[in-house]
Structure 1
Amino acid sequence: MPDSVLVTYGTTNGSTARIAEAIADVLRKDGLTAEVRPAQTVASVASYDAVVVGGGLYAGRWQKHARRFVRHRRALTGRPLWMFSSGPLDASASERDIPPVPGVRRAMTRLDAKEHITFGGCLEDGVKGFFARKLVSSGKGGDFRDFEQIEAWAAGIGAELVGEPGKR
């Protein structure tokens, strides 16, 4: 049974980090050791049995640190791998399945990822970036993360890793 899980992410304004923390919290409740790290700080995945990687979506692309992380094909191949995206600034991610953007889809295929899910995003006052600030100031920001959905998805990962696939 895999025991040690890396939950890593690429984010600009921190909302994807909070999703990664929520995923790790659920995995820990399932008895797994889960470490949360920004993607740019991960030098090696050798000490992890499984990996969950996520990225904030910006203009139809994963955040740059998440994109760079999944380029480590040799290191990630052979480990159970799940991927998530964070981004829509509306309730659509809670209402329907949103497929991965093309770059993430290619990475999933290349790395034989088990699954991908898109969660709602969050842009609130104080965000970095000209366009992000414009979205917030025009009233199109907000917090659309659905933590019940996030926790349910993470519970499925935990069940699979501890050998209880029926709990999904």
Structure 2
Amino acid sequence: MTGTVLVTYGTTNGSTAGIAEAVADVLRKEGLTVESLPARSVASVTPYDAVVVGGGLYAGRWHKDARRFVRRHRAQLAERPVWFFSSGPLDASASERDIPPVRGVQRAMIRLDVQDHVTFGGRLEEGAKGRVAGMILRSGKGGDFRDFSAIEAWAEGVAQALTRR
């Protein structure tokens, strides 16, 4: 594939954006042209030949910007290869086992014939926005649980699938 790949994401405190940038960096290193943008700022997916969509998980749901992006661009996404990732567990569980997509993401995957989905650990650190985030931090359950080796390995798989097309 010689076209452009969009890596887009919904994030509140930047953790999912960091994962999206890591994915975009790997795709670029593999020779692909990549744009990485917040999901709320993407007006159209028409210029892109493939799309990677990431969303932070909040109370069992994907970030609202990721959900809205998929809904808004459903018809165009169905015409190109798409990959999903989620981020969120604030423990090592995402590195220890495969975590299936939440129900809403699973439904979108079926509708769009998504190539793959993976859940990565999240990050929640001091200064995070939101009342619930504050409660989690006060309980001592914050931290950075993103596994960048796993993120890069998954992105290499995406790149291989795209370069074989």
Find the residue that maps to 2:101 and give its secondary structure.
coil
Map Cα deviations across residues 108-141 of structure 1 (whole Å, 9 max, x no partner). 0011100000000000000000011110111001
How far apart in 1 are the matches of 2:76 and 2:107? 17
Find the residue that maps to 1:70 and give its secondary structure.
helix
8 Å contact 1:2–1:50 — kept in the other structure?
Answer: no
1:106 paired residue number: 107
How far apart in 1 are the matches of 2:135 and 2:46? 41
Counterpart residue type for residue 77 of structure 2 = L
How far apart in 2 are the matches of 1:41 and 1:75? 16
1:32 paired residue number: 32
Counterpart residue type for residue 100 of structure 2 = P
1:122 paired residue number: 123
Q: Root-mean-square deviation (CA), in Å?
A: 0.9
Name the TM-score, length of structure 2 as normaliser. 0.97
Give unmatched runs, 5+ long, in structure 2. Answer: none
Matches within 5 A, 1:1-168: 1-71=1-71, 72-163=73-164
How far apart in 2 are the matches of 1:2 and 1:64? 31
How far apart in 1 are the matches of 2:31 and 2:49? 14
How far apart in 1 are the matches of 2:39 and 2:66? 6
Map Cα deviations across residues 28-72 of structure 1 (whole Å, 9 max, x no partner). 000001110000000000010000000000000001000001112
How far apart in 2 are the matches of 1:131 and 1:111? 32
How far apart in 2 are the matches of 1:20 and 1:42? 15
- How far off its partner does 1:2 sit? 4.4
Find the residue that maps to 2:128 and give its secondary structure.
coil
Q: Which stretches of structure 1, 4 residues or longer, exceed 2 Å deviation after superposition? A: none
- How far off its partner does 1:3 sit? 2.5
Find the residue that maps to 2:86 and give its secondary structure.
strand
Counterpart residue type for residue 68 of structure 1 = R
How far apart in 2 are the matches of 1:73 and 1:9? 15
Map Cα deviations across residues 71-104 of structure 1 (whole Å, 9 max, x no partner). 1211111100000000000000011000000000
8 Å contact 1:10–1:17 — kept in the other structure?
Answer: yes
Give unmatched runs, 5+ long, in structure 1. Answer: none
Counterpart residue type for residue 32 of structure 2 = L
- Residue identity (%): 71
Name the TM-score, length of structure 1 as normaliser. 0.96
8 Å contact 1:77–1:111 — kept in the other structure?
Answer: yes
How far apart in 1 are the matches of 2:154 and 2:45? 22
Counterpart residue type for residue 14 of structure 1 = G
